[in-house]
Structure 1
Amino acid sequence: MWKPDRESKKPLYAQIADHLEQRISYGEFPPGSQLPSERKLAEQLGVNRSTVILAFSELRSMGIIEGKSGSGTRVTMTKWGATPKHTPNWKRYAEGGNFLPNLPFMRRIREALSGAPALIDFASGELSGDLAPSEEISNLMSRHQYTAYLGYDHPQGYIPLRQVLVPYLNKYRQIQTTESSILITSGSQQSLYLITQCLLSPGDAVAIEDPSYCYSLPMFQSAGLRLFRLPVDRDGACPEDLRALYRRHRIKMVFLNPNYQNPTGAVLGMERRKRLLELASELGLPVVEDDPFSLTSYGGMPPAPLKAMDAAGSVLYIGSFSKIAASGLRVGWMVAPNAIVERLADARQQMDFGLSVIPQQVAAQFLKSDYFEPHLDRLRMQLQFKRDLLIAALKRELTGLISFTVPEGGLHLWCKLVPQVHDGKLLEEAIRRGVVFVPGSVYGSDSGYVRFTFARARAEDIDAGISRFAEALRALLEVPSP
C-alpha cells in the first residue's frame, strides 16, 4: 500500500492529494464514487486526520472532489466543466452479482492487518514464517532442475505430484487411492468451491458443523445452498443429529472437519466415526471431509481420517499443503471417485486452465524428500510450544473471565468468554490496543466466543498479545451498558 514519503520536501498533505488525484485520473475512483473517510484514510496512510483534511481541501479547491453533509466525500461528476457521459454505476456493480463478499468482521480484520502490520495477529489461520520449511524448499529448488515447459498442465494436476501423493496418503493418512482419483487444487477453499458449484444446486440443503470454518465462507450462500447446523461438542458432531436433519430437510451433503476441528479443536470420537459412516452409507449421503490439521497432532499419531474407514465410497477427502508447510505455494488435493474428479477437473479448467506447474513440482519434491519428516517433527513441537505459551498467558491474564478446552493438534484455541461482551466492540477495542482475533460469531456460534490462532504470532509476542486482549476486555466491562 502506498504511503507518503516523510523524507520528501513536499508536504505530506500535498503528496496525498497528488496520489488521490492520480488514482482518480486512472479511473480507480470514477466520477460520483465515494472516497474513504478522513479517519479511515488517515489510519491507512499512518498520518494525522488533519493532514487528510488538508489533502481533501486541496482536491476540493481544484473541483476534483466534493463533500455533502451526511454522505461523505465523492469524486465530482463535473471535473473542470467536462461532464462524463454514461459513466457506469460501479458501486451498484460492486454490490451486485451472485458471489457474496466476505463477512464484515473478516473484512475488518484484513483491513486492520493491512493498515497496521505491527498488530499481534491471533486471527490469520496460517503458519508464521519461522514455522514454514523455507530453507528446505530453497535447498530443493537449488538442487533440482524444474521443467522448462511452462504450458498448461494436466487438468487433474501435475502427474508426478499426484504420483507422490499416492504413497504419502497411504503412509500418513492410511488412505489407499490411485493418481487417477486425485485432483490437485489451489487449496481447501478451491476444493470446497468446486464442490458447492458443481455437485450441488441452488436450494439444496447441506449440513455444516456448528461452529465451523465453513460459516466464514460466503461461497455456500453464494451457491444458494440452505445451511443447517450440526452441533459440535468435545467429541465432534453427533450422527443422530445428522439423521434428524436428514429427516426434516432431506440433506444432500454433509461437511465435516473431524480432526482438530476449526475452530473448536475437537476430534470426532471413534464410535461416532463408525456410526456416521454407517449412516452415510444407509442414506446414500456424501460426506466432505476437510482434513488440514491431522499432521499437526502434537502426539504424532493423529486419528485415521473417515476416508481411511470408508468402505462404501461415501467420502470426498480434502487435504492441503497450507497448514503443514507453506500456504503461499497454494497446493491442495482432493480424493474422490474418478467421475467426480473428472467433473471437477473440467470445471477447474474452465476457471484457470490449470494451476502453476512450478509450485506443484516444489511440493512433489518436498513430500518425497528427507526434509519432510524432520519438518513435521519440528512443526509439531513449535506449535505445541506456542499453544502452551498462549494457555499460560490466558490463565495469568484472564482467570475467571475465559474458559477453553486444550486442543491436542491444530492451530487454534477456542475460548468462551464468561462475561457478556459485544463482539464488534471487543474487536475494535482490541485492534485499538494492537491485537486482533476472530470473534466466534464468524463461525456460526452465538456471541461470546473467540478464536485465537497461535501459529501466526511470534512466540515472543504471545504474552503481550493476550495482555492487550485482556486490557480490551476489561475496558469494555468497566463501561456501563447503554
Structure 2
Amino acid sequence: MWKPDRQNKKPLYEQIADHIEQRISYGEFPPGSLLPSERKLAEQLGVNRSTVILAFAELRSMGIIESRSGSGTCVSNTKWGATPKHTPNWKRYAEGGSFLPNLPFLRRIREALNQNTSLIDFASGELSGDLAPLDEITKLMSEHPFPSYLGYVNPQGYVPLRQALVTYLDQYRGIRTTESSILITSGSQQSLYLITQCLLSPGDAVAIEDPSYSYSLPMFQSAGLRLFRLPVDREGVCPEEIRSLHKKHRIKMIFTNPNFQNPTGTLLSEQRRSQLLEIASELGLPIVEDDPYSLTDYEGIPRPPLKSIDPIGSIIYIGSFSKIAASGLRIGWMVAPHSIVERLADARQQMDFGLSVIPQQVAAQFLKSSYFEPHLERLRMQLLFKRDLLVEALNKELPDLIQFNIPQGGHHMWCKLISAVNDSKLLEEAIKQGVVFVPGSVYGSDSGFVRFTFARAKAEEIGPGIVRFAKALRELIR
C-alpha cells in the first residue's frame, strides 16, 4: 500500500491529498463514493489523524470531497456533474516529470530580476549589451543577404558555419578537425544536455569539478546520473582522485572546464593537464571539455584547450558564442568523433529539426570577417577594466570580510566570506539592498562562498553594487 515519503520536502498532508485526488481521478473513488474514515486512513498510512484531517481539508477546499455529519466523507457529486469529470490537477503535472526544475536559489534570483529591473546584477552569466558586437553584426546582416532557402538545414548544422569553425578552431584554439566532426547546438547547455541524455544512462557515475557550474544544472540529476567530486584549488581541478573514483564507482565520463573555470576562475596548470589526460587515457575515460572563456584571457594569449593536446581523440570539446560575442545568437558547437556527432545530431533533430539558419549564417560571417579579432581585443580590455573595478570595490568595502584570488580571464570572481552567514538570508538581504549574486552552494561548495559575475553589470554599477552587498553582509554579521 502507498505511504507518504517522509524524506520528501513536501508536507505529508499535501502528499496524502495528492494521492487521494489521483485515486479519485483514476476512478477508484467515483463521485458520491465514501472515503475511509480519518482514523482508519491515518492507521493505514502510519500518520497522525491530524495529518489526514489537514489532507481532507485541502481536498474539501477544492470541492473534490465533502463531509456530512453522521455520514462520513465522500467524493463530491457537484464537482463532477452528471458524469465523472475532473479538471486536471496542473500543479501535480507541473511538479511531475523526470526533468527537474532549476535550483531554488536560481529561481529566486530570476524572480527578483524580473520583479525589479533596477537591481544590480552580479548573478547573470551573460555579457552586457555594451560588450556585444551589435554594430558589427548589424553591418554583416546588411552586407550579406539571407540564404535563398529558409527550410531545415543539415542536422549537424549549417555547412558554411561548420566550415568557418574548422578555420576558427585551428587558428584560435589549436584544434585540427573537419566539418563532419562538428555539431552546431544552441549553446553549451544544449551540448551538455545531449551528452547526458544520449551517451549516458540512469545510474551511471560521472566525475565533475567541485565547485562546478554543473551542480547548478539539474539536467545531470534529471538524467539519473551519480555525481562524484574532483576538488578544485588554485591550480584547477585535482585529477589524483580519478583512479579511486573509477575503481569504487566505475565512473563513465569526466566533465571539466579547465580555462578560467566557472565559478572559481582558475586556470588548470600544465602539470595537471598532462596528468588528467594521462589518467583518462589509462582508464579509457572520455573527457567533456567545456571551454567558453579561453578567448577572454586578459593577456591576449589564450591558453590552449585540452583538446589541442589530445593525441588519441578522447575529448568531446564544447564551445559557444555566448561568452565572447552574444548569448542571443544561441550558437554553440561540439567537436567529437564522427559517430558521436551523428548520434547526437539525430537526437537533436528529434527535438527541434535543427537550429534557425539565420543566426548560423550571422555567426559564420562574423567568424570570417575582419570584425572578429578587433572585437576580441575590445572585449578583453573591457572585461579587464570591469574586473579591476570589482577588485578595487571589494578591497575598499570588504577588506576584512572577504578573500579572493584575482582571475586572469573569464567573467567571474569567486569569493570566500570570512564570517559564517546563511546563504538564503544573505541573498534575501542583498535583494532588499538592491543587488543580486549567486551563493556558492549553487555550485556544490559549502556555505560562505559567493560568485560575482562582472560581465553583466555596467562599469558604473560595479562599485555601488559592492557597497550594497557589503551593507547586506554587515546587516547579518553585526
TM-score normalized by structure 1? 0.83
Is 2:192 the partner of 1:198? no
Q: CA deviation at 1:75?
A: 8.2
Q: Is the 8 A contact 2:80 2:86 kept in 1?
A: no
Task: Determine the C-alpha separation between the residues in 1 that align with 2:369 and 2:62.
Answer: 56
SS of 2:403 mapped into structure 1: strand
Task: Determine the C-alpha separation between the residues in 2 that align with 1:315 and 1:252.
Answer: 13
Q: CA deviation at 1:356?
A: 0.5
Give the equivalent residue in structure 2 for 1:228: 228
Task: Determine the C-alpha separation between the residues in 2 that align with 1:193 and 1:258.
Answer: 20
Q: CA deviation at 1:308?
A: 0.2
Q: Cα 1:75–1:300, aligned 2, differ >3 Å: closer, same or farther? A: farther
Q: Is the 8 A contact 2:230 2:239 kept in 1?
A: no
Give the equivalent residue in structure 2 for 1:56: none
Task: Determine the C-alpha separation between the residues in 2 that align with 1:271 and 1:420.
Answer: 34
Matches within 5 A, 1:114-263: 114-263=114-263
Is 2:249 the partner of 1:277? no
Letter paired with 2:266: A
Task: Determine the C-alpha separation between the residues in 1 that align with 2:79 and 2:282.
Answer: 69
Give the equivalent residue in structure 2 for 1:396: 396
Q: Alpha-carbon deviations, 1:300-353, whole Å to 9, x = none?
A: 112110000000111000000000000001000000000000000000000000
Letter paired with 2:377: D
Give the equivalent residue in structure 1 for 2:337: 337
Is 2:294 the partner of 1:328? no
Give the equivalent residue in structure 1 for 2:466: 466
Task: Determine the C-alpha separation between the residues in 2 that align with 1:82 and 1:221.
Answer: 38
Matches within 5 A, 1:307-318: 307-318=307-318
Q: Alpha-carbon deviations, 1:181-220, whole Å to 9, x = none?
A: 0000000000000000000000000000000000000000
Letter paired with 1:430: A
Task: Determine the C-alpha separation between the residues in 2 that align with 1:384 and 1:237.
Answer: 24
Give the equivalent residue in structure 2 for 1:419: 419
Give the equivalent residue in structure 2 for 1:440: 440
Give the equivalent residue in structure 2 for 1:267: 267
Q: Alpha-carbon deviations, 1:119-168, whole Å to 9, x = none?
A: 00000000000000001000110111111311111000000000000010
Task: Determine the C-alpha separation between the residues in 2 that align with 1:278 and 1:210.
Answer: 21
Task: Determine the C-alpha separation between the residues in 2 that align with 1:235 and 1:76.
Answer: 61
Give the equivalent residue in structure 2 for 1:42: none
Q: Alpha-carbon deviations, 1:83-117, whole Å to 9, x = none?
A: 67311111111111000000000000000001111
Task: Determine the C-alpha separation between the residues in 2 that align with 1:437 and 1:267.
Answer: 22
Gaps in structure 1 of 5+ consecutive residues: 1-31, 33-67
Moved more, 290-299 or 82-91: 82-91
Is 2:91 the partner of 1:91? yes
Kindly report the root-mean-square deviation, in angstroms, between the aligned alpha carbons of the 2 structures. Answer: 1.7
Q: Is the 8 A contact 2:103 2:442 kept in 1?
A: yes
Q: Alpha-carbon deviations, 1:378-416, whole Å to 9, x = none?
A: 000000000000010000000110000000000000000
Identity fraction in percent: 74
Give the equivalent residue in structure 2 for 1:14: none
SS of 2:195 mapped into structure 1: helix
Give the equivalent residue in structure 2 for 1:44: none
Q: Cα 1:385–1:91, aligned 2, differ >3 Å: closer, same or farther? A: same
Task: Determine the C-alpha separation between the residues in 2 that align with 1:170 and 1:340.
Answer: 21
SS of 2:152 mapped into structure 1: coil
Letter paired with 1:435: V
Structure 1 runs of 4+ off > 2 angstroms? 74-78, 81-85
SS of 1:88 mapped into structure 2: coil
Give the equivalent residue in structure 2 for 1:370: 370
Q: Cα 1:208–1:86, aligned 2, differ >3 Å: closer, same or farther? A: same
Larger radius of gyration: 2
SS of 1:228 mapped into structure 2: strand
Give the equivalent residue in structure 2 for 1:57: none
Q: Cα 1:75–1:195, aligned 2, differ >3 Å: closer, same or farther? A: same
Letter paired with 1:457: A
Q: Cα 1:372–1:77, aligned 2, differ >3 Å: closer, same or farther? A: farther
Give the equivalent residue in structure 2 for 1:348: 348
Letter paired with 1:131: L
SS of 2:316 mapped into structure 1: strand
Q: Alpha-carbon deviations, 1:27-59, whole Å to 9, x = none?
A: xxxxx9xxxxxxxxxxxxxxxxxxxxxxxxxxx
Q: Is the 8 A contact 2:231 2:238 kept in 1?
A: yes
Letter paired with 1:285: L
Give the equivalent residue in structure 2 for 1:457: 457
Q: Is the 8 A contact 2:202 2:223 kept in 1?
A: yes
Task: Determine the C-alpha separation between the residues in 2 that align with 1:297 and 1:157.
Answer: 28
Give the equivalent residue in structure 1 for 2:105: 105
Gaps in structure 2 of 5+ consecutive residues: 1-20, 22-54, 66-77
SS of 1:413 mapped into structure 2: strand
Q: CA deviation at 1:289?
A: 0.1
Task: Determine the C-alpha separation between the residues in 1 that align with 2:374 and 2:391.
Answer: 26
SS of 1:354 mapped into structure 2: coil
Letter paired with 2:299: G
SS of 1:157 mapped into structure 2: coil
Task: Determine the C-alpha separation between the residues in 2 that align with 1:317 and 1:362.
Answer: 22
Q: Cα 1:96–1:277, aligned 2, differ >3 Å: closer, same or farther? A: same
Letter paired with 1:287: I
Give the equivalent residue in structure 2 for 1:406: 406
Q: CA deviation at 1:243?
A: 1.7
TM-score normalized by structure 2? 0.83
Give the equivalent residue in structure 1 for 2:71: none
Q: CA deviation at 1:271?
A: 1.0
Q: Cα 1:82–1:282, aligned 2, differ >3 Å: closer, same or farther? A: closer
Letter paired with 1:154: N
Task: Determine the C-alpha separation between the residues in 1 that align with 2:477 and 2:469.
Answer: 13
Q: CA deviation at 1:76?
A: 7.9
Q: Alpha-carbon deviations, 1:453-478, whole Å to 9, x = none?
A: 00000000111100000000000112
SS of 1:227 mapped into structure 2: strand
Give the equivalent residue in structure 1 for 2:287: 287
